[in-house]
Amino acid sequence: MPTGPAADHRSTAPLADPEAAFAPGRAPVMLELVDEDGTTVGTAEKISAHLPPGRLHRAFSVFLFDDRGRLLLQRRALGKYHSPGVWSNTCCGHPNPGEPPFVAAARRTCEELGTAPALMREAGTVRYNHPDPDSGLVEQEYNHLFVGLVRGRLRPDPDEVAETAFADSAELERMCGDLPFSAWFPTVVDAVLPAVRELTGSPDW
């Protein structure tokens, strides 16, 4: 179950100012815009792509499991400008323009959690449009899904990850009932389940 600093998971810190992500002298983060088929059609600055109604852009979501078939979850750091303090899947983010999603997923997993996947493979894509009720930002994403295994010791970056947890399917169901999760989490979980069952060999997922 959750490991890390004790916290009241039903409360969140004051929302960070999205403009803080673009302090003077910091280069803007660019995302890859796509059409409904996932074909690249351009780029956009990160905040502008998430302002209502949102612009469809490429993203990825990673689901890593330990050798007991438990999913590695992370609670997003309280200082993040988007969806701070909520639980979500192992890692999620956006490829740099032109960066293959698989490469971006492996890179960000290492950067956020301090360990590389022991195994990772593609698990399809999912398209969704999820407004975040707290920040008012919109996740309009064409999301590449990945499943795999994790065996190394975790060294989470505190600027990205508040805490981590390993959960089997029953524990995850209880956590979803008791704790706040990201707006996109139910959608990506439903989409990735066939690949998860194949990876873990467990019908419980």
List 92, 99, 171, 176, catalytic entry:
92
Q: Is 111 annotated as a binding residue?
A: no
The response to whether 94 counts as a known ligand-binding position is: yes
Q: How far apart are CA 110 and CA 137, in angstroms?
A: 26
Helices (H), the chain: 46-50, 101-113, 169-178, 185-200
Residue 50 annotated as lining a ligand binding site:
yes
Identity of residue 85: G
Beta partners for residue 144, in sequence order: 60, 125
- Is 139 annotated for ligand binding? yes
How many C-beta atoms surround the C-beta of residue 30 within 10 A? Answer: 16
Whether 57 has a binding-site annotation, put simply, is yes
Cβ-Cβ contacts under 8 Å for 140 (sequence gap 6 or more): 49, 50, 53, 54, 55, 56, 57, 128, 129
Check if 198 is active-site: no
Residue 130 assigned to a binding site: no
Which one of 32, 45, 110, 141 is the catalytic residue? Answer: 141
User: Is 91 known to be catalytic?
Assistant: no
- Annotated binding-site positions: 50, 57, 94, 112, 139, 141
Catalytic residues: 92, 141
Residue numbers in the known binding site for Mg(2+) are 112
Q: Please give the annotated binding residues for Mn(2+), written as ranges.
A: 50, 57, 94, 139, 141
